[in-house]
């Protein structure tokens, strides 16, 4: 591959290296299909004899099902069957990352939370299935439940260590804090949040000639097929899963409940069954980000040099699966300190199982760490950009490992220059514009980078075209297009001669669209396949009619990689206006400068970064799942009650990047999917402090919280 590190400009264009497709701005290959409606999503694909399944969800938070009146429903028009724990196929333990209790659907009479699927009504039309589901009477023996999270909950227990990152125990945190002249010791909370992909989860399953065919909305068809095969005790060879177009996932589209139930129904009824969730069902039963409570203690000398970082976090999980929200990652890598300690607690409650969501761990973790850094800057009397520069590490602060590349300081400096940070008056509450108080804030973020094992194949045809087959997923990110550019450069051909086949489990093993590692992982496999193909082509006079195929598998190469700290980094700047009458916070502008390795397609990479920053804004000011304590149920499970930043909330957002060369792997790609959300909420909360002089340590920064903080009356 040629060295095609993108050189950025702010207008979205890029100076392309001669002949290089990587680094040039390209619109999506499937863009026209999407805007004309030709692109089919999982619920759009027609099948002969298709039946429709409708979920029935539990209405109690804890207990047992004592009866289910299926007879009445089976007599309703069009109803073909009811799948429930009394007749559902038995499942084997399975999951994306080890056995997952969430997938053990309809296996017994236990109800672990409100919104757990307890039955699937299948009918000829969706309307008939919905009517049947509404009519199904389920009786429960209810038990007392507990759905109220707090860090000190007696059920809390230490989380198992992350595979690659045990709890940090560098130096003596208590001794450093006791001896330091400046200490910040604060608690920060973030609420339950919901992924809210535009396309609700949907799956179709059918048996054809002894093979299971699935059309799904997921983030990785190969991994989903593998889980399905294990779950149902099938040979993976007979399971085919496809997800050609996916309208967002944000971590929620692994193996969805609708898929497991569709396969069950197709198996029992011997006909194709589609299950499409409603928006409310998506909220109830497809995962969430858990609420967190984090305590941050920072100690520094009088110049702001950090002596200690002590980061303890707690988050809830369900009683059926232990999901750990890894909030302390950033505290391991962001700043040099003499002592660093991290601890993670999980609290099992009678709630749906949380899952990876939009920068899992980092989104909430960076809010706590980067808010505390702002508080330290205030306490020491050092500019918050300068404070971060003073604590820039030369190697992994805890691990001691070299950074594959970093360039966070460059992000801070270039961001500060473009944002006009030098003109900022450090005193809070000094800028007024009519009824508005104005303030600016900064925060940093990081997100794990790297690649995971994947395979790819490229077939050269006699007509000069190349077909790239890789089990990638494009969930709206632009992955399909990025991979075409990577393939074109690796083959030394124009992108127009490359055709992409993705999102089909038959295409072979591949990492999924998650952890911001999709494009890096698949690109490497595509590059390897291209190298293999070029070798094969060199040994033939002309391409035979059935083509020549090269293959790549990165498993060994990734296994042989040396240990390094691999992260994308960003520096985020925000300006807010706070209404002195209503307490409303409006974000006026945001700038994110990122160090994210090689940027493959500046057009879609910028979209992802802007998207991440928008999610951060949404987290800072809007998103909050509200639960009723007595019912244990989410009360705002729709977009009227659960507000996500809309156009009117989102100001001028600029995202750009500095040169960041990561030579530790051949793709040089670090991923842009999630780093945009890391630090954004802190930058906004820090700007609110600068505007008002009041610190907000609980997200979202709602207008009632601003008013009740004593602002502006207390000023
Ligand atoms: Mo993303 S939350 O890594 O699917």
- Last residue of one domain, picked from the residues 559, 583, 599: 559
CA 643 to CA 531: how far, in whole Å? Answer: 48
In a domain, 489, yes or no: yes
Same domain as 423, residue 460: no
CA of 240 to the centre of ligand 1 (A): 23
Q: Give the mean pLDDT of 422-434.
A: 95
In a domain, 467, yes or no: yes
CA 414 to CA 569: how far, in whole Å? Answer: 13
Among all residues, which ones are annotated catalytic? 674
CATH at residue 629? 3.30.365.10
pLDDT for 713 equals 47
User: Which band of pLDDT confidence, cut at 50, 70 and 90, is reported for residue 322?
Assistant: very high
Same domain as 672, residue 595: yes
Backbone angles phi, psi at 65, to 5 degrees: -80, 125
* Short-list 106, 74, 464, 53, CA closest to 281: 53
Q: Give the mean pLDDT of 18-47.
A: 93
Q: Could you tell me what percent of the chain has a pLDDT over 90?
A: 95
Q: With 50 as the cut, is the pLDDT of residue 10 above it?
A: no
In a domain, 132, yes or no: no
The pLDDT mean for the chain works out to 95
Q: With 60 as the cut, is the pLDDT of residue 17 above it?
A: no
pLDDT for 162 equals 87
pLDDT digits (tens, 9 = 90+) for 601-655: 999 999 999 999 999 999 999 999 999 999 999 999 999 999 999 999 988 999 9
pLDDT for 164 equals 84
Same domain as 634, residue 503: no
Same domain as 574, residue 541: no
Same domain as 649, residue 701: yes
Q: Could you tell me what percent of the chain has a pLDDT over 70?
A: 97
The structure's pTM equals 0.96
Termini Cα distance of the chain:
60
Strand locations in 532-676 (E): 548-553, 567-579, 585-595, 627-628, 633-634, 652-657
pLDDT for 666 equals 81
CA of 561 to the centre of ligand 1 (A): 23
Same domain as 706, residue 605: yes
User: Which band of pLDDT confidence, cut at 50, 70 and 90, is reported for residue 15?
Assistant: very low
In a domain, 154, yes or no: no
602-621 and 680-692 helices cross at what angle (nearest 10)? 50
Cβ of 515 below 6 Å from ligand 1: yes
In a domain, 688, yes or no: yes
Q: With 50 as the cut, is the pLDDT of residue 289 above it?
A: yes
Cβ of 287 below 6 Å from ligand 1: no
CA of 338 to the centre of ligand 1 (A): 32
Q: Residue 404 corresponds to which tokens in the numbers above? A: 């594959």
In a domain, 387, yes or no: no
* Short-list 200, 55, 205, CA closest to 117: 55
Q: With 70 as the cut, is the pLDDT of residue 192 above it?
A: yes
- Last residue of one domain, picked from the residues 519, 534, 559: 559
Same domain as 605, residue 519: no
Same domain as 700, residue 596: yes
Domain count, the chain: 2
Same domain as 526, residue 607: no
Burial of 267 per CB tally in 10 Å (0-12, 13-18, 19+): middle
Q: With 70 as the cut, is the pLDDT of residue 8 above it?
A: no
The atom of ligand 1 lying closest to the CA of 219 is 4
Indicate the top mutation candidate among 612, 673, 676, 678 to test ligand 1's pocket, ranked by most ligand atoms within 8 A of CB. 673
Same domain as 640, residue 624: yes
pLDDT digits (tens, 9 = 90+) for 150-181: 999 999 999 999 888 999 999 999 999 999 99
Q: With 70 as the cut, is the pLDDT of residue 4 above it?
A: no
Cβ of 671 below 6 Å from ligand 1: no
Neighbouring CB atoms inside 10 A of 107's CB total 13
Q: With 50 as the cut, is the pLDDT of residue 18 above it?
A: no
Cβ of 357 below 6 Å from ligand 1: yes
* Short-list 609, 483, 482, 462, CA closest to 544: 462
The atom of ligand 1 lying closest to the CA of 513 is 4
Q: Which domain holds residue 415?
A: 403-448+566-715
- Last residue of one domain, picked from the residues 559, 582, 612: 559
């Amino acid at each position: 591959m040629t060295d095609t590190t993108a050189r950025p400009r702010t207008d979205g264009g890029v100076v392309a290296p001669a002949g290089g497709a990587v680094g040039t701005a390209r619109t999506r290959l499937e863009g026209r299909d999407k805007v004309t409606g030709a692109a089919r999503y999982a619920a759009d694909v027609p099948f002969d004899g298709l039946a429709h399944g409708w979920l029935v969800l539990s209405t109690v938070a804890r207990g047992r099902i004592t009866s289910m009146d299926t007879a009445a429903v089976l007599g309703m028009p069009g109803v073909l069957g009811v799948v429930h724990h009394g007749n559902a196929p038995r499942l084997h333990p399975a999951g994306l990352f080890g056995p997952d209790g969430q997938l053990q659907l309809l296996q017994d009479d236990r109800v672990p939370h409100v919104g757990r699927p307890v039955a699937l009504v299948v009918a000829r039309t969706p309307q008939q299935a919905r009517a049947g589901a509404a009519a199904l009477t389920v009786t429960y023996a209810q038990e007392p439940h507990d759905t109220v999270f707090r860090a000190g909950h007696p059920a809390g227990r230490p989380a198992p260590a992350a595979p690659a990152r045990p709890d940090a125990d560098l130096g003596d945190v208590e001794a450093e804090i006791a001896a330091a002249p400046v200490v910040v010791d604060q608690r920060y909370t973030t609420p339950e949040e919901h992924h809210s992909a535009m396309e609700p989860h949907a799956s179709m399953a059918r048996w054809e000639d002894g093979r299971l065919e699935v059309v799904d909305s997921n983030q990785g068809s190969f991994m989903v097929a593998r889980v399905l095969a294990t779950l149902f005790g099938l040979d993976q060879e007979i399971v085919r899963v496809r997800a050609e177009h996916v309208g967002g996932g944000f971590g929620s589209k692994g193996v969805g409940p609708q898929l497991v139930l569709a396969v069950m129904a197709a198996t029992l009824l011997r006909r194709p069954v589609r299950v499409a969730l409603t928006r409310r069902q998506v909220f109830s039963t497809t995962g969430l980000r858990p609420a967190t409570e984090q305590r941050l203690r920072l100690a520094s000398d009088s110049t702001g040099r950090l002596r200690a970082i002590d980061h303890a976090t707690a988050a809830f999980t369900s009683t059926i699966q232990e999901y750990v929200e890894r909030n302390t990652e950033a505290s391991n890598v962001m700043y040099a300190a003499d002592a660093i300690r991290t601890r993670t607690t999980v609290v099992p409650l009678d709630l749906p199982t949380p899952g990876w969501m939009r920068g899992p761990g980092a989104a909430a973790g960076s809010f706590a760490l980067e808010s505390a850094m702002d508080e330290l800057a205030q306490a020491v009397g050092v500019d918050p950009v300068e404070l971060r520069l003073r604590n820039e590490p030369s190697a992994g602060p805890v691990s001691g490992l070299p950074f594959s590349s970093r360039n966070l300081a460059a992000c801070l400096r270039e961001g500060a220059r473009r944002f006009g940070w030098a003109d900022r008056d450090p005193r809070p509450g000094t800028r007024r514009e009519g009824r508005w108080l104005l303030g600016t804030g900064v925060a940093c973020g990081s997100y794990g980078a790297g690649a995971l094992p994947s395979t790819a194949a490229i077939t050269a045809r006699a007509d000069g075209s190349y077909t790239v087959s890789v089990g990638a997923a494009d969930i709206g990110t632009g992955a399909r297009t990025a991979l075409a550019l990577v393939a074109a450069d690796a083959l030394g051909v124009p992108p127009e001669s490359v055709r992409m086949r993705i999102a089909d489990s038959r295409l072979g093993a591949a990492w999924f669209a998650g952890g911001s590692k999709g494009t890096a992982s698949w690109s490497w496999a595509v590059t390897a396949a291209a190298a293999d193909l070029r070798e094969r082509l060199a040994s033939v006079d002309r391409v035979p009619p059935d083509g020549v195929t090269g293959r790549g598998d990165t498993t060994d190469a990734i296994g042989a990689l040396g240990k390094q700290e691999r992260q994308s980094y960003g520096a985020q700047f925000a300006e807010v206006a706070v209404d002195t009458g209503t307490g409303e916070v409006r974000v006026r502008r945001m700038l994110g400068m990122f160090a994210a390795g090689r940027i493959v397609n500046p057009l879609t990479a910028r979209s992802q970064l802007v998207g991440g920053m928008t999610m951060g804004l949404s987290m800072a000011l809007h998103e909050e799942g509200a639960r009723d304590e007595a019912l244990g149920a989410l009360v705002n499970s729709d977009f009227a009650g659960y507000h996500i930043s809309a156009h009117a909330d989102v100001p001028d957002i600029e995202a750009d990047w500095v040169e960041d060369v990561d030579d530790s792997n051949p793709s040089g790609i670090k991923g842009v999917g999630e780093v945009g959300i890391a630090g954004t909420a802190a930058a906004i909360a820090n700007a609110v402090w600068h505007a008002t002089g009041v610190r907000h340590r609980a997200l979202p920064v709602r207008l009632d919280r601003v008013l009740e903080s004593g602002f502006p009356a207390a000023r």
